[in-house]
Amino acid sequence: MCGIAGAVNLRGKLKTEECLSGMLRSLKRRGPDASGIRMFDCALLFHTRLAVVDIENGTQPMEAEYGGERYTIVYNGELYNTEEVRRELAALGETFTGHSDTEVVLKAYIRWKKDCLSRFNGIFAFAVWEKKEHRLFFTRDRMGVKPFFYSFRNGTFVFGSEIKALLEYPGVEPVIDRNGIAELLFVGPGRTPGYGVFRDISELKPGQCGSFSSDGLHIETYWRLKDRVHTDSFEETAEHIRFLVTDAIRRQLVSDVPIGTFLSGGLDSSIISAVAANYFREQGERLDTFSVTYTDNQKYFRTSRFQPTTDEPYIRLMADFLGSKHHTFIVDNEQLAFALKRAVDARDLPGMADVDSSLLLFCEEIRRHVTVALSGECADEIFGGYPWYRDEKIRAAYGFPWAQSTDMRQKFLAPSLRTKIDGHAEISARYEATLAEVDKAEGLSPVESRLREMVHMNMYWFMQTLLDRKDRMSMYSGLEVRVPFCDHRIAEYMYSVPWEMKEYQGMEKGLLRYAVKGLLPEEIRTRKKSPYPKTHNPQYTAVVSSMLREILDDTDAPIFGLVDRDALLGLLGDEFTQPWYGQLMTGPQTMAYMIQLNYWLEKYRVRIEL
């Protein structure tokens, strides 16, 4: 994986000297191995590289000539069907100097233009400058795994893998308006699809591409979830799912550098680790697996509806079953709190509090051993693993199921903003717009109709929050994380599978569990879902409480321009247990989110302009 950035002004009025070092430096963590710049009369292209495949020949920006035109690409991602696309191009007469997917992507674009996207299976964001035509083409993968932020002001189009790169370009300023405040206090740590929170920053949505030329800025959707009539039997469906999941995992094990897997002892990471371990065994090698926990977590753990068991016994069982070289990372709770600010540095926004900072620390540790790791994100969204899919009352409730806290959030709004921003109206507008996008086949039952809405909401909202988190926290340490369940073929097929199949035998992800029979120990295959582990140690709560008190004691703290002081003070009470976002962000995490918000406002020198 890599970092990409660039700027185009067709009148040649680029702020070259002011942004050259800053934009490149801002993305160095994403690509610590190499960097490159291409300067044209109307365009700048930047690239920082994390070398994973074809280390010698994959240098970027990469150029090629065809038909009198010079094409230059900056590319962030991995193409998992590189060899199939390469063979198709070779049959048409194309030749290649190396085996990098970057060269395949570039030549596929030259040959087929935007139609190349329908041939790709992978995670990517890239931009191609056509020198003669003075045209920039840019795109993002179907599922939104790789980021692409952009800003268009005063005739200049600026883009980058992260917000920090755009803010290095003169004229792109850290300003939030009413919409940005609503994102932070009513949507955060999620983001409305396409929003960049800052006033002049947007994000290309999953499955979108665009161009900037003398014809203007044009953005279009090249892929979205489409419903159809599912005609396969249950056995055929399970067999096809086993093939798709296994194929996706095996494709993503290709690497010229060390590779491992996350292993929580849950269903999803165990499936990935099992397929990977078998693949490594075929090569005469041993898989590295990684898990995370917290100091004294076993001592303070309390069972709950959402987290019925600890992970440790299942991790040991699975690691022994795999015969993997297993690494357990224990996070110190004070270290976890102090890493909250670095997590903001990585995400460029307040995030999922210690759920972010723990992953950041975990990824730093993994990077000591491997450069690439596979992780189990996206299975719950696609296969229906969350409680809000299965609980009829939650499923039927109006609004986003992970964010039923608007009344509580409204109380945090600073008094000066309460007459200007209506949280319920903001969330309702976003919710209704999302439902209007859902594709449904004719004749669906009310339950199936609602579940299509749930899948769409989860994939384009909740899943994007988790993918943001995984990309930023991992790339901050130069670790590439791949997410096999995010293969678009799995999403396309599963979208129309009836709920009675998905929930086979009344279990969450029952179809997936059935499909992988024989691959895992039964204790793992039938284990009830348990979310990403969080700390239960009261030391963490004590540390973040102290950090919040420091903010409350500072009358000039920037957070008071957005948040009511009394509401913040109320977080210090023991009675605050309502979730801020999903089941993982309750009292301590809400405090941590506010700490992150204050730090973000201060560090990024955010201006509020209503």
Active-site residues, by number, are 2
For residue 151, give the 3-state DSSP assignment: strand
Distance CA 30, CA 532 (A): 24
Distance CA 197, CA 608 (A): 12
Q: Please, what sign has the CA dihedral across residues 597, 355, 470, 402? A: negative
Q: Please, what sign has the CA dihedral across residues 33, 78, 247, 497? A: positive
Count of Cβ atoms closer than 10 Å to residue 163 Cβ: 23
Q: What angle do CA 458, 461, 462 make, to 5 degrees?
A: 60
Distance CA 2, CA 4 (A): 7
Q: State the residue for tokens 């490594």.
A: 280
Two tokens, residue 288: 């590295």
- Of 225, 306, 312, the closest CA to residue 508 belongs to 306
Distance CA 483, CA 376 (A): 6
DSSP code for 542: H
Q: State the residue for tokens 């204050």.
A: 598
- CA distance between the termini of the chain: 38
Residue 121 vs residues 78, 279, 487: alpha-carbon distances, Å: 9, 20, 7
User: How much of the chain is helix, strand and coil, in % rounded to 5?
Assistant: 45, 20, 40
Q: Where are the beta strands (DSSP E) in 367-443?
A: 372-374
For residue 561, give the 3-state DSSP assignment: helix
Residue by residue, DSSP assigns 58-113 as --SSEEEEETTEEEEEEEEEEETTHHHHHHHHHHTT---SS--HHHHHHHHHHHHG
Contact by Cβ (8 Å): 409, 494: no
Two tokens, residue 491: 């999403």
Query: 548 φ, ψ to 5°?
Result: -70, -35
Q: 500-506: which pairs have CB atoms within 8 A and are 24 or more residues apart?
A: 501/234, 501/237, 502/383, 502/384, 503/384, 503/390, 504/234
**In sequence order, what are the residues at sequence separation of 6 or more whose Cβ sits closer than 8 angstroms to the Cβ of residue 457?**
400, 401, 434
DSSP code for 130: E
**In sequence order, what are the residues at sequence separation of 6 or more whose Cβ sits closer than 8 angstroms to the Cβ of residue 284?**
none
Distance CA 329, CA 533 (A): 12
Distance CA 451, CA 396 (A): 10
Query: How many Cα atoms sit within 13 Å of 509 on the Cβ side?
Result: 26
Contact by Cβ (8 Å): 543, 337: yes
